[in-house]
Structure 1
């Protein structure tokens, strides 16, 4: 049975978001996951790439192993071997794929609720681009009329071992001696690997909040209960830092000694500065402190989503050295090799949670600062973000189209009392700069029916008020309860 992937997208509701394929678990049938995997393998081999195996792994969602079996069946039917990594962070699989010059498939829904899931695809060079997504969408694949998914093969330990040795080798195995670091483990696939890495760098590690129930940690919209819990843990445990990640371990959640969570874009600027990067590529929703700090030769702004950051890094790496990227969710990408004291950290053009965590810990120790003091080295620009769930994407686009045309309406709805509209950026969604200097950015989520709001101001309090009051007005205008 031949199927065009574009048709399957329309009929199933499972399609590409900001990073990978996403959909409701009930929509992700064995046949659909088989088809997407077959289309990906077809796309990566169409330009003559030669490879003998495919790296396969997944997160800890209840639905992930079953989806991985369907993907494994497609790999086997394509005549390829499987290197099964098991439950490991996405960047660990990306790193091993690059090392072995092979593609990788990762079953993960990242931070979205457990009733949804997804699949991420990697070439040997890194995460697939938007052009690759187009090739997959246009692929015609053959789905067997009747097939049984295969069992997953034996686990390969080599994939995880390569990743756990990467950062101790670069930063030094004594670089965190004397630091007491807590890990909020929850259901993160990175929880054991993170503990091992911190321990191998000399830190004293405290394990907190481990659970077998999947918790959708969103590093851009931290849950109130996680904010409160972090403060309680800080009072009880006397740590120097509190670390966690989203479900697939590619976005960091970093808390200071007081249990206050860092903003992801602050983490990105600090990490880029510590690595002495020359060129920084980041989406349009990231804090403007990256330009205002004056630390970098050039800042490149993109649409939101790691594929766009990767494209920006690829373009920059052709001309510059020291190219990095980051997103407002804290995920950090290396577009080129980075050298430090005679050691080289090889490029890893996919989001990674461990690198920014370890960079900030090393920075604090080397400067003799508390983790809470690191953001004070940045310009006074603060961001807040949140979202309205169950906000239809079509409705979001209609709203943005209306506000784009009517600046008076935009000022009244987004930030009343902030002055007239001074500038509008349509790179991704609607990002409005007001006469007072505050910024409000609306954007439909690429992964779920949600409308996200990002706000930026000179104080954290003002940014938070801007964000929450804007969302409240949007709910009223859209007749959404709460």
Structure 2
């Protein structure tokens, strides 16, 4: 591997103009609160991936939680179906091995497969994916051994700064014994593990339509849902990081149209739609209607609390208020958290929660290393549906008590100024304001809304809830006008 060096400008011949070189990427623009996300070839290059790999390798070696415990000897790496992913993962692996650690290369994987590998092998991990972002993007999700989260507050900032120093040529990288790369396929182990957690052998037969969105669910679903009680009709299972059919973002209603139509057309019992790295799962009922992720959170919470009475369940700030109500009714303790996987995983560990759900369709399980896995949530939905005779629409009706807007995204030039307007609007009305995550405004009669800045895009995200659709629509339109004025 060629070391990163800087050649002084005065070494160029006097009669030759120095060659122009592209500016060194600034990692502050792509290292977000809890992952890395950038445009391939501009912000995220092989050199950047290699530098981050070296910095991450040194970090996990130097930051052993207990000096008496053996330090991490390897890093597990997986990647999604984007054309750039194998190249970037290989460059990252070069950095890790140059830092003296070995690499366990999983190859193609979903994000929750990397968490599974990190948890079962007790090794730090890296997943190359930009999730639902367009094809020109890629990114890195990092975790410590046991799938423990890594955020700016817990070490990602240090990894970023060391990698930047490497790219700038201001840090000397010592020559260490190079690690080795071994390949390992854990797909079958991952599928077996999930199916041991949720037993489908006793359910009634179900017809399931799955929209993989040309993402990693096309790789994992055939292994996980290969069950005699399930008839699976697959859509867009071909792995294609250009997303030729629709974006792999099930939060956007337009991306659910195909699976909704297919469920109605074939008379399926349920539809499942996954995002690009298959760590999020959206559910469609037999009528072709999306089921709120808050309802799925409440449903899964009730199942987990039946198994572990009195346990803690987490929900995030934009979840329906039906979620804490149902957790309490099921005998559990509801704890509210910020949006974001690193925050929720840390809170899972701190509170001993058995389960946590986000309204973005991320679902976290204590028996999955406190990590998020849409696939395990899907298995819980199938078990709940197949364990009784009602259609899904009737089953989930008891978990959907209020009218919600869904998440509405608005590009803004100055998020701070808009949030300031929101606070002023709330003060004028004497409303209660909570700023655990963004600005949440609570009004009389059960109406509330949350406005928060995206961690990955220049957007403000609005969620509104009210007891009736008429009240929700009026509040939604008023706040959207305030945001977009």
Unpaired runs of 5+ residues, structure 1, are: 336-345, 410-419, 478-482
Question: Is residue 31 of structure 1 aligned with residue 60 of structure 2?
Answer: no
Deviations 1:226-273 (A, max 9, x none): 343233212311111111211111111111111211222221121111
Which stretch of structure 1 is more off in the superposition, 26-35 or 442-451? 26-35
1:297 to 319, 324, 332: 332
Number of equivalences: 439
Which residue is equivalent to 2:119? 98
Which of 236, 247, 265 aligns to 2:276? It is 247
* Structure-2 residue corresponding to 1:407: 426
Q: 1:222 aligns with which of 248, 252, 263?
A: 252
Aligned partners of 2:381, 2:334: CA distance in 1, in Å? Answer: 21
Give yes or no for contact 2:128–2:138 (8 Å, CA) kept in 1. yes
Q: Which moved more, 1:38-47 or 1:422-431?
A: 38-47
Distance 1:78 1:144, change over 3 A: farther
What does residue 320 of structure 2 align with?
A: 287
Alpha-carbon distance, 1:349 to partner: 1.8
Q: Return closer, same or farther for 1:72/1:462 CA change in 2, 3 Å cut-off.
A: farther
Residue matched to 2:17: none
Q: Following the alignment from structure 2 to structure 1, what is the Cα–Cα distance between the partners of residues 470 and 222?
A: 34
1:274 pairs with 2:306? no
* 3-state DSSP of counterpart to 1:200: coil
Give per-residue Cα distances to partners, 1:138-197, cap 9 Å, x unaligned. 43654597x9xx9x967522x212211112223235244511111112222022321322
Give me the whole-angstrom Cα distance separating, in 2, the residues matched to 1:467 and 1:62: 40
Cα deviation, 1:409-435, whole Å, max 9, x if unaligned, reads 6xxxxxxxxxx4431111111111112
Match of 1:89 in 2: 110
Give the secondary structure class of the aligned counterpart of 1:112: coil
1:253, 1:181 → 2: CA distance?
13
1:313 — aligned with what? 348
TM-score (norm 2): 0.83
Instruction: Find runs of 4+ consecutive structure 1 residues off by over 3 angstroms.
Output: 7-12, 137-145, 152-155, 386-390, 459-470
Shift of 1:218: 2.8
Query: Which residue of structure 2 aligns with residue 165 of structure 1?
Result: 192
Contact 2:304 2:355 in 1 (8 A): no
User: 1:472: how far off?
Assistant: 4.7
5+ residue gaps, structure 2, are 7-22, 65-69
SS in 2 for 1:206: strand
The answer to whether the Cα contact below 8 Å between 2:27 and 2:160 also exists between their aligned partners in 1 is no
State the shift of 1:459 in Å: 3.7
Residues 1:156 and 2:172 are matched in the alignment: no
TM-score (structure 1 length as normaliser)? 0.83
The answer to whether the 8 Å contact 2:313/2:333 transfers is yes
Q: Give the Cα separation in 2 of the matches to 1:360 and 1:455.
A: 25
Q: Tell me the distance in 2 between the aligned counterparts of 1:208 and 1:14.
A: 32
Distance between the aligned counterparts of 1:143 and 1:458, measured in 2?
Answer: 53
Could you say which residue in structure 2 is the equivalent of 1:329?
360
Rg larger in structure: 2
| Residue of 236, 245, 255 corresponding to 1:209 | 236
1:55 aligns with 2:88: no
Number of the residue aligned with 2:434? 425
Higher strand share: 1
Aligned partners of 2:418, 2:168: CA distance in 1, in Å? 44
Q: 1:258 aligns with which of 278, 287, 291?
A: 287
